[in-house]
Amino acid sequence: MTLKQYKINYCLNINGNKPIIIFLHGFMGNIHEFDEAIKLLAEDFSYLTIDLPGHGKTEVLGGDKYYTMEFTTQAIINLLDEFKIDKCYLIGYSMGGRLALYLTLNFPERFIKVVLESASPGLATEAERLERVRRDVQVARKLSRSIIQADFTAFLTNWYNQPIFSYIKNHPQYNRMIESRLQNNPLELDKSLRFMGTGCQASLWEKLKKNKIPILLLAGEYDEKFISINTKMAQICKFTQLKIIKNSGHNIHFENTSAFVENIKYFLSTVN
């Protein structure tokens, strides 16, 4: 679907009158990021998955500013308007979780409940954001030089050596996940990181304090960094609740799909 500055690749599956969940993937993901979880949710929900700018088959037709969170958010709202989706559930992972929180805080009337997996409200101080931008630029440069598949594969191997991903390389489907990541264009990922990385994002900590939309925060038991971040989020906003998921690091929906789905079903089915 083309929304002026984008040609958005998406999958919309309507299951009768079942409520709709929007899934927003993480950095280097695509519309298939949540396939295994969706299989376990499809009986009870309709769903919309989207290739975010810089990922999968979505094309950015405008300038670089259309990779930013602000413009990506508006594109998603425009897409919902096109489909006449007034209200829905929202699930976002990592980068997609930051985007989901931005959507929630700026368009609260559009979302019933929200699940944030391994996500954050951004960095609180200007100094932290500048340092993160510096680091993201370094990573982006490596991406832009990895247009040869062997180099991109090496980049992905290094990426998943980060402590937050814990034991993900031991997962039986790890190689299949890497194959999926390799379908992305490194030059497009470069732009996503430069324009929608954590350092580029305005802090949402203060806005989160005023949030009244029910939010479920999920963090993996091996992901100490995001357990700490999410604990602080739960402390400053009474409409959030935090669940620590066993046997997983940063990528919960991949490492422990059954627990991920179980928590989502319970959260979306309960009356707040």
CATH number of 6-123+203-269: 3.40.50.1820
pLDDT at 269 exceeding the cut of 70:
yes
Mean pLDDT of the chain: 94
pLDDT of 6 reads: 95
pLDDT at 272 exceeding the cut of 80:
no
The tens digit of pLDDT for each residue in 32-43 reads: 999 999 999 999
The tens digit of pLDDT for each residue in 141-163 reads: 888 888 776 789 999 999 999 98
Mean pLDDT over residues 9-29, rounded? 96
Q: Could you state, in order of their start, the residue ranges of all structural domains in the chain? A: 6-123+203-269
pLDDT at 1 exceeding the cut of 70:
no
Residues ≥6 apart with Cβ < 8 Å to 204: 101, 102, 105, 121, 122
Grouping H, G, I as helix, E, B as strand and the rest as coil, residue 153 is helix
Mean pLDDT over residues 228-248, rounded? 97
pLDDT at 80 exceeding the cut of 70:
yes
220 vs 211: CA distance, rounded Å = 24
Residue 167's pLDDT band, with cuts at 50, 70 and 90, is confident
The tens digit of pLDDT for each residue in 35-66 reads: 999 999 999 999 999 999 999 999 999 899 99
Query: Is there a contact between 52 and 28 (Cβ–Cβ < 8 Å)?
Result: no
